[in-house]
Each structure stands twice: as C-alpha cells, then as structure tokens.
Copies of this chain bind each other. A is one copy, B any other.
C-alpha cells in the first residue's frame, strides 16, 4: 500500500490532516492560513453546492453577487458587527505596485497609490449588501427580498486547519429582507431546517438544531440559530448558522419601507451561511483509518470498477463486458468510473479507492464473466458480496441507498450515545474528559458563568436545542436556578 495515515486512536488531529492530504481533498498553500482545494475536494463542494442551491431556489431564493470589498465607512456602520470582525480583517490600502528602484526585478507597493479610504476584504457581507438594499427597497411590494450569494470570504484567523478554519474560505450567504418581525423569524427557522435537512439527508451527518447563547451569537444578530454535529472524537462542530438580525442592519444603513397602510418602518433582516467547513465535518464524521467514507449522495464517484486480468485477451473480454455495465449504471443515474489504468495493480487501486471513500467497488475478472457475477465491496462496512450481472444497476441503487442510510444511522447512534446529562460539576468535568460529546446540563443563563466554564474546561454552550424540555434545575457551576438544560461540548 502506498499511502498510510495516522490512526484515529494514535492522534485524531493528525489522522484528519493526513487524510485530507492523502485523499487529495486539499493542500497547504503558499499563503498563510489559506488552502488549495484540490479537484477531488472541490468535486465534493460542487455536489454540496448543487444540492443546497436547489434547496435555496425551491424556497424562493435567487442568487446574486456583491463586491468583495467593503469600504471602511460602510464596514463600521453596524457597530456590533464591525466590532466582531474588526480584529480579523484583511485590509486593502493600495492599488498599485511599482518597480523597486533598489532591487532589479522586484516590486514594491507604490506609496503614491494609497487609497483615500481603505477597503476591507469581506469577512461577511451584511454591510455591503444592506448598503445596496437601501436603493432596492422602498415599499412592501419590494419585500420579501430573498437573495443568496456564493462567494469567498476572508477572516484573519490566528490558528488555521484545512477546511475547518482557513483564512479564506468558500461559502454561501443568504441575506433576506422582510416587512415583519414574524416573517424574518420564520425565514431564519426555515433556513435552519433546510441546513439540517441537507446535513442529515445528504451528508448523512445528524445534527442538533438549536439557538446560541449570547456569547456565541453572530456579531450584529439578535438571535443565532445553528446546527451542531458531533465528530468521532467527541468534539462538536458548528455546521451552519441562521441569524435573525432584527432591524439592526436596516437601522445602520437606513433601510425603510412604506407598509400597506403607508407607514414608514425599518426592514427586518436575516442572514444564513454554510461553508467549505462542511467538508471537514463530512470527513471527521464518517471516515476511518483506511481513508474517507463518503455517503453515496455526495461522493464524486459512487462506483469504481477495477478489472482483474492476466494478459490482453482477458482484458479485452472484461473491457467489453464492463462497457455494457458502465452504460447500464450511468443510465440509472449512478456516477461510475472504470479504472483500467495499467500503471497500477488491483491491490494498489483497492487501497486508493478506500482512501478516496468511493462507496462501492466492483472487481471483475474472467471467471466472474463466466459465472455472470461481479464481486462487490462496500466501503463503509468493507463487506464483500457477489452480485449477479443480471439487473446489476437496480442492485447497486439499493446498495447505495443502504450505504447512505447505514452511514447516517451509525453516526446517529454515536451522537445519541454521546448526549449525556450531568448534574454535578465533577460529573460534568469527568464526562467532558473521559466520555466526551454533548453534556446536557443546567446553566444559570449568564455570560459570566459560560465564560467561567469555558475558562475552566474549554467547553462552550453549543446550543439550546429547539423545543427544549423545560425543567427546573440548578446551574452546574453556580447552583443558581435554571429552567432548562443546554448542550455543552468542546468544539472545533
């Protein structure tokens, strides 16, 4: 086997990095904190985009594109938002380079090309978008305005990790404008459900839907809703957020509309986003020590066919048979690759496609043809079976469905086993250190207590689940009264 990766048990974090690199998902780049998304990783992103984009359009949203740069004066207009992002912004200050007079062939920033007003490379686009919406919204007839943007954003992170936290990342950001608070709140929740639906039914990653505490709220939002997933090392990962922005941005950018009664009011807003971080979540939720395990609905290649042969005659026989099978599988909507590259041996290919997480591998040799069967291996359980070539595509469709469900159920079982109630501080710390996962416990509702808990344990409140059970209790740290349990975890 040409490629080996660190095992999860040995070093989970190293396992993840190895896997991302060896499976060809991404690479480090020459730019601090930025990564290169390689073709196989980008194919995953394209599959995610396609599905999310369909879901956004089905819920009435349209795509548009707003500038990469935000003039500083617009950036600072919504003070909380500005304060939240100011510390991690890339700033464009000049618009020209010139030859370095002291260094032939080198360039320097031209001091005469200094911008009058600096431009912030967008860390998020509320400011630039709401300054634009001011020109688009006059009356209730212009509402709701339901817009999404696929874009790159930049946040100057101090510690970065491939996919999970990079200085530049790709995402989508929805920005909607509404006539009433209720409508904006409904939109916020609707998009939360869209994200959860996508995560669970497409990525096979079970999520908890909930609302963030004040500490973890998006800068400038009144409420931040989120979907939280659990990785195999028991750490949580925020997989998507949907913000109810109230009238904060409308006030900051003076966006008013006349309602049906001809009264003037500020517009209500939401924003919501998911990013290439999801690829990190996907990798960490399902994969194993041999490589990626990809749910069929998102796998760039669903089925790989590897020929096993001796000599040109057998090869021709197999080629001919496989051409028919490929055609049949494609016609059934299955993404299939026939790897007859003769630079590599079957064993090498088997390992390679395990690393790449191809859900189904079909091996086919001369004897299989004689018996009218193929040898099929599923990536998730590594189970092997012999299937008749008769009606193969229908059998494969069933198998892919089964793999999709089975990957989800496995992750769901793990997640459900890792939501543990704690009733005392010692229990809380013990669970965090030894069992990991989400800890359901009472909290007195103050930021101070949450800060203190974070300081002591590195755990944060991941969310207060939607439709949470209301029960009297005492805060795990302070003993102060509490009306519900919240989910704490250490998180990515």
Contacts and interface: CB of A to CB of B under 8 A. Distances in A.
Contact of A89 (B70, B79, B95): B95
Contacts of A170: 65
7 tightest Cβ-Cβ pairs between the two chains A and B: A39-B62, A34-B67, A37-B65, A86-B97, A95-B156, A91-B94, A31-B67
A93 interface: yes
Contacts of A68: 34, 121, 152, 154, 168
A93 B93 contact: yes
Q: How many copies are assembled?
A: 2
A311 to B, nearest CB: 23
Name the prevailing secondary structure of the A interface residues.
Answer: mixed
Contacts of A128: 29-31
Nearest to A341: B141
A332 interface: no
Given A37-B65, A75-B97, 14 more contacts: A29-B67, A30-B74, A36-B66, A38-B64, A39-B63, A68-B168, A86-B96, A86-B97, A87-B96, A87-B98, A91-B95, A91-B97, A92-B92, A93-B93
A69 interface: yes
Contacts of A76: 105-107
A30 B343 CA distance: 55
A109 B118 contact: yes
Interface string A32-62: 0011111101110110000000000000001
A119 interface: yes
Contacts of A154: 68
A196 interface: no
Contact of A29 (B66, B75, B96): B66
14 contacts: A31-B69, A42-B62, A42-B63, A43-B63, A68-B168, A76-B107, A82-B107, A86-B99, A90-B95, A91-B97, A92-B92, A93-B93, A96-B156, A121-B121
Nearest to A45: B65
Contacts of A152: 68, 151-152
A64 to B, nearest CB: 5
B71 A31 contact: yes
Interface of A: 27, 29-31, 34-39, 41-43, 45-46, 62-72, 74-76, 79, 82, 86-99, 105-107, 109, 118-121, 128, 131-132, 135-136, 141, 147, 151-152, 154, 156, 168, 170, 343
A118 B109 CA distance: 8
Contacts of A30: 67, 71, 74, 128, 131-132
B141 A121 contact: no
A96 B88 contact: yes
Nearest to A300: B62
A165 to B, nearest CB: 15
Contact of A119 (B62, B65, B90): B90
A128 B86 CA distance: 27
A418 to B, nearest CB: 33
Nearest to A105: B79
A89 B97 contact: yes
Given A42-B64, A67-B31, A120 B132 contact: no
Contacts of A141: 343
Nearest to A61: B39
A342 B37 CA distance: 48
B97 A109 contact: no
B82 A64 contact: no
Contacts of A75: 97, 107
Contacts of A42: 62-65
A351 to B, nearest CB: 18
A27 B133 CA distance: 11
Contacts of A156: 95-96
